[in-house]
Amino acid sequence: MGDVMRCRTELCCIVLVPLLMVINEASLVTVEGLIGGSVLLPCSSEAPPITVQGITINWKCDDRVKVFDINEGKVSGEGQDPAYKNRAETFPEEYKNGNFSLGLNNLQYSDRGKYQCYIVEESIIRTVELLIEVPPQDPVEGDIGGSAVLPCSLPRKRPLTTEDITVTWKHNKTLQVFDIIKGKVSVKEQDSVFRNRTETFPQEYLNGNFSLKLYNLQHNDTGFYKCYITNELLIQSVKLEINQGAQSRSEKILLIVPFLSVSILLFM
């Protein structure tokens, strides 16, 4: 057995060294997908192929798990990891245009990772990072001027170090709310509307709890918040709903009173 492993190692050394000199790895693309949903992982060639029959494409996950193959222009399920059976597809009608994108259906938590698209004829690797989003939890409610805790935690507990912990909170996909970088709080990129109104709980980080507390709630705080757990390639989202506080109810009364007064005068 030892001899076999050594042979494999020697073979890798012989084969991989020249490959590393000729294969070009393109820039990383990040794609988000919702558990149970579908996603498209993009991959295209530098130029459309002359003939479809000459196309060989290998899709892998984390550079080892075989996801999907196109051999000489034809779909091949040989050696495909069972986890992707009947869930992965490409689009043969697009091959002639140099489009070898991969569709993944019925997304699962375990699908998160980095996917490599090897375009053999061009010696190019396209890398796509797939982040998996957990379906939104029940909405969190808060009152104007009050506070609310937005939950975010790892679905499966595992040993963590501070180096493992990089988390980003965003509001409605664009506004930067809060960052945890390698276990340390960072508000360098924080949007000004959240300044001095947010906190997390550092003592809970190693337990996989990255929940966010938001103070002095305002009308424009309503919406969806996403918690990006970078090292886990995982996204958790939660909707914050702002209740009408006492001040808002008073404003409504002030608006109704003049209306009632006018109505009484009209019917007198």
In sequence order, the β-bridge partners of residue 118 are 58, 125
pLDDT in the model for residue 260: 38
86, pLDDT greater than 70: yes
187, pLDDT greater than 60: yes
Has this prediction a pTM greater than 0.85? no
Task: Collect all residues with Cβ–Cβ distance below 8 Å to 76 and sequence separation of at least 6.
Answer: 69, 70
267, pLDDT greater than 60: no
Q: Which two tokens stand for residue 80?
A: 């495909």
CA-closest candidate to residue 183, choices 225, 149, 215, 230: 230
Q: Which domains does the chain have, with CATH numbers?
A: 25-133 (2.60.40.10), 136-245 (2.60.40.10)
The CA R_g of the chain, rounded to the nearest whole Å, is 26
Q: Which two tokens stand for residue 266?
A: 């009209």
| Burial status of residue 9 (CB atoms within 10 A of its CB: 0-12, 13-18, 19 or more) | exposed
- Model pLDDT for residues 131-155, shown as the tens digit of each residue: 999 988 899 999 999 999 999 999 8
For residues 264 and 129, which has the higher predicted lDDT (pLDDT)?
Answer: 129
For residues 54 and 92, which has the higher predicted lDDT (pLDDT)?
Answer: 92
166, pLDDT greater than 50: yes
pLDDT in the model for residue 19: 39
> 208 φ, ψ to 5°?
80, 20
- Model pLDDT for residues 32-57, shown as the tens digit of each residue: 999 999 999 999 998 888 788 889 99
